[in-house]
Amino acid sequence: DGGITQSPKYLFRKEGQNVTLSCEQNLNHDAMYWYRQDPGQGLRLIYYSQIVNDFQKGDIAEGYSVSREKKESFPLTVTSAQKNPTAFYLCASNPTQGYTEAFFGQGTRLTVV
Amino acid sequence: AQSVTQPDIHITVSEGASLELRCNYSYGATPYLFWYVQSPGQGLQLLLKYFSGDTLVQGIKGFEAEFKRSQSSFNLRKPSVHWSDAAEYFCAVILVNSGGSNYKLTFGKGTLLTVNP
């Protein structure tokens, strides 16, 4: 089945450690996105990529990094510079052309202790 | 600045009552418009979308939305709410650049729907 897979579903890390969240899609979509969700804040865009080896900062990129070495994969690293990393992270993808919506993974809940 | 606004943070309705969730956008051109629904701890599911044409669009689970260009609005409606509709609802837009490429999917802050029995 085609879709977006985020792993792991739950992730615990100690403060000061970097952590990488995985996002893989087999929908052949060019564009991929990372969002952070906090209660009452909606979905805030961290990074997005429209093509392999290229990505742009979203609204809250500080303390995060991404790579897009393959079309199918768009991993997000939460660095120790991110002051409040505990949140729910959602990955999405869509084609860059045509009339279609974005598809979402099931999310990763990151807790930093 | 380009934005999506959902004015209602939390709405409570009784089961069987009608529902309208508001969404306003601020963009220079007509964007692609979407409504998504999210259950706790889950990803987002698409309810409906608008790209062009008929301004009243039908979605899944009995939802519909109407695009009003003059008001820059895309409000979500349902004639009779079921208890299973309790969830968080997000309005979203995708900008289309001059080259016809989609980019920067942007969301409102969401409206939490509570359904009373």
Per-residue pLDDT tens for A41-66? 889 999 999 899 999 999 899 999 99
Q: What letter does residue B83 receive in the DSSP assignment?
A: G
- B105 with B94: CB under 8 angstroms? yes
The pLDDT of residue A49 is: 92
C-beta pairs of A54-58 under 8 Å, 24+ apart in sequence: A58/A33, A58/A34, A58/B104
pLDDT of residue B18: 97
pLDDT (average), residues A58-76: 96
Mutation choice for A interface testing from B101, B109, B111, B112 by most A CBs within 10 A: B101
Mean pLDDT for the stretch of residues B20-29:
87
Q: State the pLDDT at residue A100.
A: 75
Query: Which residues of chain A make contact with B43, given a CB cutoff of 8 A?
Result: 90, 104-107
Residue of A nearest to B38 (CA): A106
Does position B98 have pLDDT exceeding 80, yes or no? no
Average pLDDT, chain A: 92
Per-residue pLDDT for B104 more than 80?
Answer: no
- Tell me the backbone φ, ψ of residue A46, rounded to 5 degrees: -95, -60
Whether B49 sits inside 8 A of A101 (CB atoms) is yes
Separation of alpha carbons B78 and B94, rounded Å = 24
Average pLDDT rounded to a whole number, residues B81-91: 96
Query: In angstroms, rounded to a whole number, what is the distance separating the alpha carbons of residues A103 and B45?
Result: 8
Nearest CB to A96: which of B6, B44, B101?
B101
Q: What percent of chain A has pLDDT over 70?
A: 96
pLDDT at A37 over 70: yes
pLDDT (mean) for B6-16: 96
In this complex, do B109 and A40 lie within 8 Å of one another by their Cβ atoms?
yes
Backbone angles phi, psi at B42, to 5 degrees: -115, 170
pLDDT at B52: 80
CA angle in degrees (0–180, nearest 5) for A110-B6-B116: 80
- Mean pLDDT along residues B16-44: 89
Residues of A at the B interface, defined by Cβ within 8 angstroms = 31, 33, 35, 40-43, 45, 48, 50, 58, 88, 90, 92, 94-99, 101-102, 104-107, 109
The answer to whether residue A99 scores a pLDDT higher than 70 is no
The partner residue sitting opposite B100, judged by closest CB among A94, A97, A104, is: A97
- Residue B30 confidence class, pLDDT cut points 50, 70, 90: low
Longest dimension (CA), chain B: 49
pLDDT exceeds cutoff 80 at A111:
yes
Of B65 and A102, the structure prediction assigns the larger pLDDT to: B65
Of B109, B111, B32, the closest CA to residue B74 belongs to B32
Inter-chain touch B41–A43, beta carbons under 8 Å: no
Burial class (CB in 10 A: 0-12, 13-18, 19+), A89: buried
